Structure 1
Amino acid sequence: MSNPDPWMLREAREIPDVTARQLERQEAVIQRLADIVRERSPRFVVTIARGASDHAATFLKYSIETHLGLPVSAAAPSVTTVYRRALKLDGALVIAVSQSGASPDVVEPLQAARHAGATTLAIVNVEDSPLARAAEFVLPMYAAEERAVTATKSYVASLTAGLNLLSHLQPDASLRGALTRLPDVLRDALALEEHARDRAERYRFATSMMILARGLHFGVALESALKLKETSGVLAEAYSSAEFAHGPTRVIEAGFPVVAFQSRDAAAPLTLAAYEQLIEKGAELLLIGDDVPLPSPVRLVTPPSGHPLTDPLASVLALYFFAAHLALARGLDPDSPPSLQKVTLTR
């Protein structure tokens, strides 16, 4: 029997308060960290993460590259943990992202990076974790305990922690203002839960979905596919809307469900054109984000945050509500997905 008010929903509703708390508590440590990083002037950035945290790292890749112009690459943890190969990371900023900070395939590569001379930063929720001890610098998420197996508030806290650091590394009044307003924007987005519940009923019998986005929303698309797999067992796959046109679009037939993220940034006209083509093929679109003139009857319009880097966070919240209510509509408990546990230890 499914839980009518699972932890996943309760913790998703905490996200606005988590964001406000984090922005307040991080101020002193983040200013010092930004000063040190600027002084060291890293030439490139490497991220280390698994699961939902890796999707947060993908969001940070787009954010860092568009805001700072530094190239960002994702580390392959097995190079360190399985193949035992040392990487030449002197002059790099290496960012590890993890809710628990416990998995060896995140901890060991960060230790190796620090030994190689990189500036190492852990964005982590558990401040006394092995990952926090391995890092030179720690940026706490301040998300508090997360009881649902599926990460929600810790994922969003990863994004806001990274954005807060960026706003200090390269000061931007527009981004700082958007971050200051973000808790209120996310509180407004809480009203989307009722709409998400209604939309979920429409998809309760879906067995597969495509999740499409572009640019700053791509990490959100990856996270969305994971959440739909975890909570409902839906075979959900995420693609850049550009990459999707290079072959995978073949699977779209009349009635095929597609979650389509629509941004308010430079990618907007490109995704809009892609979604128009899918509708012509008969795809069943759930549009999340900006309200655009598409003949799609199903949409979750998110409140604008005032900046392209912060807009995706309201989209995440809308998707979490949809995923949790889809599981409930299918008679499942999103807090107890089969074969999964809260902390996964892999090497």
Structure 2
Amino acid sequence: MHHMYSEIQEQSQVLKTCYEANLEVLEKVAKGIFERGIEFIVFVARGSSDNAATFGKYAIEIFAGIPVSLAAPSVASIYARKLKLDKACVIAVSQSGMSEDVCSFFEMAKECGALCVSLTNNPQSRLAKVADFSIYMNVGVEKAVAATKTFSAELLLLGMLACLLSKSDEELKKLQQVENVVKEALDKENEIKLFVERFRYMNECFVLGRGLTYPIALEFALKIQETSYVRAKGFSTSDFMHGPIAMINSEIPVFLLGINDETREDLLQTAAKLNEQKIDVYSFCDIPEMKDFVKKNVEFSSNGLSRILSLTVLIQLFSYYLCILKGYNPDNPRIIKKVTVTK
């Protein structure tokens, strides 16, 4: 059995543990942000963690109204510049907590007076030792190169933080049901396995999302790239219409990720426009009308931010089975390693 498969399957339990183990420290982080009069939040991350950080940006801005930016780590690691961060909370997101460029930016932020929060799966990491608050995913060692349970844990924890910063007990309670949410998504494994069959010879695709699903589209594209070596390109639906749509043709499938929130009409319009152009569109979506515009829709049920976790599990299963279908080993992808060291 592949590590990637095992780690996808164990998420219902490990994410439940992750929620329970981190609620108290996240409450302290939110309190610290309020007490320090923090005016903005800066995320620093790479790879899958950067996609999770992008989700954190959307969730915190939408729910809590606090401006959030994504750091350019090279500003510190390559250019050795310092930033005015005394009114900022800098959150470093990293599975290993050891990436050189992320650590360099985080250490610079601490020197510049930022409130520093680390989110890692290694409580002894370099990031954790620098942080004012250290959040430990507590999901066990992730052996697969492709991040699954650590990515989901990052989404969960950043969603919880967004709820605490917005003082939304209702949304937090929805995330508390993460064990059941993930189990329901995992129950669609056979459906996903059959769905994947039609993509055996796919070598290029587009993956689109909007708002909270945009970061998951980026992650889906990354998972397909690193495990199946498909040229997958992730975009926001709005950015896609501003130029990249010119690359589309009837030989390139489009995957559309959606949830039934304020992005609903945009997603339906995007699907309709692609359908008019005779493009094969496939979706992972809880918008009932989406089925009228796509070749196949994988439905899921949950609500609030927990929908993002349902969606994430589904795209992880798809990525795993596509890799297997193409005859590759998801635990041993070409060139890349578990911890990527970049400066």
Shorter-chain TM-score tier: over 0.9
Task: Name 1:290's counterpart in structure 2.
Answer: 286
Indicate yes or no: 2:58 matched with 1:51.
no
Q: Which structure 1 residue ranges, 4+ long, deviate > 6 Å from structure 2?
A: none
**Could you tell me how far apart the structure 2 residues matched to 1:70 and 1:173 are?**
18
Quote the residue 1:322 is aligned against: 318
Deviation string, structure 1 residues 69-109 (Cα, Å, up to 9, x no partner) = 11111111111011111111111010100000011101111
> Could you tell me how far 1:260 is from its partner in structure 2?
0.5
Alignment of 1:153-164 (within 5 A): 153-164=149-160
- Cα 1:255–1:292 change in 2 (3 A) is farther
Q: 2:258 aligns with which of 248, 251, 262?
A: 262
Find 2:56's aligned residue among 57, 60, 66: 60
How does 1:301-316 map onto structure 2 within 5 Å?
Answer: 301-304=299-302, 306-307=303-304, 309-316=305-312
CA contact (8 A) 1:255 1:282 kept: no
1:3-55, Cα deviation, whole Å (9 max, x unpaired): xx321111011111121101111132222222222111210111100000000
3-state secondary structure, aligned to 2:177: helix
1:111 aligns with 2:83: no
Which shifted more, 258-267 or 26-35?
26-35
Gapped regions of structure 1 (runs ≥ 5)? none
Of residues 16-25 and 96-105 in structure 1, the stretch that sits farther from structure 2 once superposed is 16-25
Q: 1:122 aligns with which of 118, 123, 129?
A: 118
Amino acid paired to 2:247: V
Instruction: State the Cα distance separating 1:158 from its structure 2 match.
Output: 0.5
User: Gapped runs of 5+ residues in structure 2?
Assistant: none
Task: State the alpha-carbon separation in 2 of the partners of residues 120 and 95 from structure 1.
Answer: 6
Question: Which of 339, 342, 346 lines up with 2:338 in the alignment?
Answer: 342
Match in the other structure for 1:280: 276
Question: 1:70 maps to which residue?
Answer: 66
- TM-aligned CA deviation for residue 291 of structure 1: 4.3
Deviation at 1:330, TM superposition (A): 0.6
Counting only pairs closer than 5 Å after superposition, residues 129-208 of structure 1 correspond to structure 2 as: 129-208=125-204
TM-score, length-normalised on structure 1?
0.96
- Note the alpha carbon deviations across 1:116-170, whole angstroms, 9 max, x for none: 0000100111110111112111111111100100000000101111122222222
Q: Report the Cα distance in structure 2 between the residues aligned to 1:291 and 1:73, rounded to whole angstroms.
A: 29
SS in structure 2 at match of 1:335: coil
Paired residue for 1:233? Answer: 229
Structure 1, 174-183 or 125-134: larger mean CA deviation: 174-183
Select between 160-169 and 218-227 the one with higher mean Cα deviation: 160-169
Aligned-partner Cα distance in 2 for 1:276–1:202: 22
User: For the residues of structure 2 that align with 1:318 and 1:176, how far apart are their CA atoms?
Assistant: 22
Query: Matches of 2:111 and 2:227 in 1, distance apart?
Result: 39
CA distance in 1, matches of 2:57, 2:225: 24
Query: Equivalents in 2 of 1:72, 1:28: separation in Å?
Result: 23
Aligned residue for 1:195, secondary structure, equals helix
Q: Note the alpha carbon deviations across 1:267-322, whole angstroms, 9 max, x for none.
A: 01111111111111121122102143324232211222x21x22111111100000
Structure 2 residue identity aligned to 1:115: E
Is the 1:124–1:139 Cα contact (8 Å) retained in structure 2? yes
Alignment partners' CA distance in 1, 2:77 and 2:320: 34
- State the alpha-carbon separation in 1 of the partners of residues 43 and 98 from structure 2: 16
Partner of 1:261, secondary structure, is strand
CA distance in 2, matches of 1:300, 1:92: 40
Q: Is the 8 A contact 2:206 2:234 kept in 1?
A: yes
Q: What are the residue-to-residue correspondences of 1:11-26 with 2, within 5 Å?
A: 11-26=7-22
CA contact 2:116–2:132 (8 Å) conserved in 1: yes
Letter matched to residue 285 of structure 1: V
1:186 CA drift (Å): 1.1
In structure 1, C-alpha distance between the alignment counterparts of 2:246 and 2:97, rounded to whole Å: 40
Using the size of structure 2 for normalisation, the TM-score is 0.97
Q: 1:212 aligns with which of 208, 215, 221?
A: 208
Q: Which residue is 1:41 aligned to?
A: 37
Determine the C-alpha separation between the residues in 1 that align with 2:200 and 2:89. 43
User: CA RMSD of the aligned region, Å?
Assistant: 1.2
1:248 aligned onto 2:253: no
Work out the CA distance in 2 between the residues paired with 1:95 and 1:187: 29
**Counterpart position of 1:222:** 218
